[in-house]
Chains A and B, each alone.
Chain A
Amino acid sequence: MTPTQLSAIRVPAWAWALLALAAFAVLFALQANDAVLGADKAMWLHELTHDARHALGVPCH
């Protein structure tokens, strides 16, 4: 018996949008804190995510 190839699963447009949103959320959390927040809160989140950012190899000081 030859194994059958598993087929692709249809990706609706909203799922592609979700992909873009998730990718942006990662970027926001790790680097572009000021893309959404004001300067004070962005600085706070920047400091809070300091170790995670370094550990994930994202450029930092």
Chain B
Amino acid sequence: MQIGDLLRRGLAAGAAAGCLAAVWLLLITERFINQALAIEDARNAREAAAVAAKGNHVHHHDELVSHPQQVLFAVLALVVVGALVGLVFAVVYAAARGRLPGYHDRTKALALAGLAFFGVTFFPFVAIPGNPPAVGDPSTIEDRTLIYLGAMVLGVVLVLAAFALDKALQGTVDGGVRTALVLAFVVLAGVGLQLLIPNTPDTVQSRDFSLALNASPELIWNFRMASLGQFVVLWGALGAIFGALVGRKVPAVEARETVAA
């Protein structure tokens, strides 16, 4: 088994996982995006009406891209992003294989997928959860992106620190106790880091609009759960498919290597 074998499998598993996440998007996430877009349209119509009421000329600018095009492209984007994430996954898997829990590639790949979900999805999600359209303040996108990327980096650092702690405790503390200590560290350090990460600069729903022109808390919550579920599908499928593809190849190869040795 060499890096090239892993990369090809990562690419394939990632693209397949992206397809499954796209199915989730079409069936579930899009429902809430559509509800939010209706709110945005109502808001724009009201602003246009206010401009017209003042006797000013209303500028209708054509949409650059229609919504069906955006949906179609979202499916494509998920497959491409899935494949790229699969490549990253394969490289990290190669380097981490010896340290991941489990005795089989299937278990190890699922474990890495779980760690990735925690570090680069769940941890940043808690710090700055995603929102449907009609919620974010356009003027704070840069700050929010920095918080998001920063939280992602901290999530990865937290996972790496947990592995470093596990290694440091080897020889001093045994199996179950060591796992408990490492988990306690992750929880405490995780909460501590979350408290250090600045809050989103947006006060959600800060604009002076009636509730009908704002996304309701229910819509925001439903969207967030849909988005998180989509990531569970993406990472879960990536880990399961990658592990199955690698696990199928390994026994034969390693048997041959043993014979050769």
Contact = CB atoms under 8 A, between A and B. Distances in A.
Contact of B130 (A5, A7, A12, A57): A57
In this complex, the interface size class of chain B, counting residues with CB under 8 Å from chain A, is 35 or more
A28 B148 CA distance: 15
B232 to A, nearest CB: 12
A55 B33 contact: yes
Interface stretch (B47-55, B79-87, B175-183): B79-87
A37 interface: no
Contact of A7 (B64, B97, B136, B144): B97
Interface residues of A, number: 37
B78 A61 contact: no
B7 A57 contact: no
Interface in A1-34: 3-12, 15-16, 18-19, 22-23, 25-26, 29-31
A48 to B, nearest CB: 5
Interface in B60-100: 63-65, 67, 69-71, 73-74, 77-78, 80-81, 84-85, 87-88, 91-92, 94-99
B103 interface: yes
Contacts of B144: 59
Contacts of B88: 19, 22-23
B25 A11 contact: no
B64 A61 contact: no
Nearest to A59: B144
A49 B73 contact: yes
Given A6-B103, A56-B130, A51 B71 contact: yes
B41 interface: no
A47 B70 contact: yes
Contact of B148 (A29, A47, A49, A59): A59
A52 B73 contact: yes
Contacts, number: 148
Given A26-B84, A48-B70, A58 B148 contact: yes
Nearest to B30: A51
A47 B72 CA distance: 12
Contacts of B147: 59
Contact of A26 (B25, B85, B231, B250): B85
A21 B71 CA distance: 26
B239 interface: no
B81 A30 contact: yes
B74 A52 contact: yes
B148 A11 contact: no
Interface of B: 1-3, 6-7, 25, 29-30, 33, 63-65, 67, 69-71, 73-74, 77-78, 80-81, 84-85, 87-88, 91-92, 94-99, 103-105, 108, 121, 124-125, 128-133, 136-138, 141, 144-145, 147-148, 223-224, 226-228, 230-231, 250
13 contacts: A4-B103, A5-B103, A6-B98, A8-B98, A19-B92, A47-B63, A51-B71, A52-B25, A55-B30, A56-B130, A57-B228, A58-B145, A59-B131
